Chain A
Amino acid sequence: MRVFRSLASLLLSLAVTVLIGGFLAAALVRLSPGFGVDQHSLDPTRDVAALRALQAARPEQENFLAYSARHTAAMFRGDLGLSRNWNRPVAGLLRERWPVTAQLMGIGLLGGWALALVFALPGAIYPTRIWNALGAGIGGLLLCVPSAALALLIFVWAGPVRAVMALAVFPRVFQYLRNLLSHAAAQPHVMAARARGIGPWRILLWHILPVAAPQMLALAGVSVSMAFGAAVAVEVVCDFPGIGQLAWKAALARDLPLLVTLTMLVALATQMANALADALSNRAEEVRT
């Protein structure tokens, strides 16, 4: 019963957050300067009746609250609306573009975590100053470069542009992962295990990772948001037709249906990733204790 109650509360909280996010995005777009100006309405040869017909053809011109309510109800029926900028259904645009973003995010998450583990794990078992300094140096250097500039540099030098995703996720994950693992490695039970002569890899697998696992899972949830942020910059700079580039174009064109839907979907995806990571983290904590 308690599990169902907490699940229902989680779903309700997710829905409320996503709906508020969508509503705020819609309100911002609606209030933005230049919204709703159709280029055809600037044509001096059109008469008043034609201008009224043009205005009536734009559903977002009606009462804002009514429009938002109707749009939300349509979303629950699976109708994500029609993009004004592309003149195509939003669902179709998302269907076409999500594989590009998913691929980039996959590369970012896998590559970034792999690099972070390569630098952080040996540091936890054999805390050598050189290896720690190398990881911290590379991570620190990458943290100082804007991801868009990194993408641009690799693009100009004809390098593997998708690798930028891993380079953007790595330093952020590494920073937290190193702290988590070094904190876990300094626990008294790990010192006792070392004193008993247990091998380093066994200590890592049985004594360090189980302690750090709950926070590592939570970090995995947060890194989804990091990867999406990096994907936006990489897609815009390198002209990859993904969701990030779509969001950028929608924002520049004040495309209300598209931007609202994207905001809600991105908020939903990141919240769900965080909720899943939290649930797994709680489970790992229960198993450990």
Chain B
Amino acid sequence: MRQVRSQKSEDRSQNSARTFAWIFLALLFLAALFWDRIAGASYAHQFRDFPGAHISWRFPLGTDALGRDRLARLLAATRISLLLAPAAAVFSTALAALIGGVAGYRGGLFDRIAARAIDLMLSLPWIFLLIAVRALLPLNVSPAASLMVTFALLGVLGWAAPARVICAGVRDMRNSDFLLQARACGCHGFRLLLRQLAPNVKPVLLAQFWTSIPLFILSEANLGLLGLGVSDPLPSWGNLLRELETDLAFNPGIVACLALMLAVMGCFRLITSEETGVRRQKSE
């Protein structure tokens, strides 16, 4: 009895934490959408009389070495991450669904080729793969192009791990009773995939989508820190964190970027645990 009660209270606290995570992300997204009104300056505007300014009423997070308002840059970077990381996750999940779904459903040669391709992608550590491929793409491009290249790269390269999970899920369902019955009723081809298989794979796809978002945000930050991410003056969490190299001892406003990133990642982790929990419940 006591165990059941403690489980219930744990579930309740987890649910309220998830609700809080959703609300926090929604508010942050709204703030990032209207960043120019909140911050009062463009992320690229240089206040040349105030380079490296400390925290003040005028500049709540101070300014960087070029006199740019750090709050404006942080909000713009948040908007970029919160818009483009999910977009890249949608793309990579769709690619994984296509490859993993076809391989798992058709089996045989398709399955073997897909498994080999997935092995190849996963045999290279993620950050090594990103660095190698990003560095081979043009580096001296406009900031907007560098932004698109960075997130497109994440979307294109991030399919392998989700594809393996999706492929295994579809392979398990291939000979399940409901599919046999659907086939016996004359449902074949794409209709079978869309009407019968897709709704059953949806929880797996959603879990992979939510897992990919924090991974892509972290990867962008790592690439930015290594100088291969979004290029100046466009802000991203990666290139904002590069300020840690120089300024940490003098201006704790920089730490706000790291703190915000931690908060956002924490929220995504809570939401991800909810999605994987739903998937586990459905599989049980």
Residues on A facing B (Cβ under 8 Å):
13, 16-17, 20-21, 24-25, 28-29, 31-34, 140-141, 143-149, 152-153, 156-157, 225-226, 228-230, 232-233, 236-237, 244, 247-248, 251-252, 254, 259, 263, 266-267, 270-271, 274
Contact = CB atoms under 8 A, between A and B. Distances in A.
**B contact patch SS:** helix
Interface string B245-284: 1001100000000100110011001000000000000000
Contacts of B261: 144-145
A180 to B, nearest CB: 15
21 contacts: A16-B116, A17-B119, A21-B124, A24-B120, A29-B136, A32-B137, A33-B138, A34-B138, A141-B262, A143-B265, A144-B266, A145-B258, A149-B241, A152-B225, A156-B249, A225-B125, A229-B126, A232-B128, A248-B135, A254-B136, A266-B124
B158 to A, nearest CB: 14
Given A17-B116, A152-B225, A236-B226, A144 B265 contact: yes
B215 to A, nearest CB: 10
B185 interface: no
Of the candidates A147, A149, A233, the one having the most CB atoms from chain B within 10 angstroms of its own CB is A149
A271 B123 contact: yes
B33 interface: no
Interface residues of B, number: 37
Contacts of A270: 123-125
Contacts of B150: none
A148 B222 contact: yes
A25 B238 CA distance: 26
A138 to B, nearest CB: 13
Contact of B131 (A20, A33, A248): A248
Nearest to B269: A140
A23 to B, nearest CB: 10
B265 to A, nearest CB: 4
A157 B249 CA distance: 9
B30 interface: no
A146 B241 contact: yes
Interface in B108-164: 116, 119-120, 122-128, 131-139
Given A145-B258, A148-B225, A251-B131, A229 B248 contact: no
Contacts of B222: 146-149, 233
A162 B30 CA distance: 40
B244 A153 contact: yes
Given A143-B269, A149-B244, A263 B135 contact: no
Contacts, number: 125
Contacts of A152: 225, 241, 244-245
A156 B262 contact: no
B248 A259 contact: no
B258 A149 contact: yes
A141 B266 CA distance: 8
A16 B115 CA distance: 13
B28 interface: no
A103 B73 CA distance: 38
Contact of B128 (A29, A229, A254): A229
Contacts of A248: 131, 135, 226
Nearest to A18: B123
B221 interface: yes
A134 to B, nearest CB: 16
A149 B225 contact: yes
B234 interface: no
A8 B254 CA distance: 55
Contact of A267 (B120, B244, B258): B120
A229 B125 contact: yes
The 8 closest A-B pairs by CB, nearest first: A251-B135, A144-B265, A229-B125, A32-B136, A148-B225, A146-B221, A229-B127, A267-B123
A229 B128 CA distance: 6
Given A247-B131, A252-B135, A266-B123, 6 more contacts: A17-B120, A145-B261, A148-B241, A152-B241, A236-B226, A267-B123
Of the candidates A146, A247, A251, the one having the most CB atoms from chain B within 10 angstroms of its own CB is A146
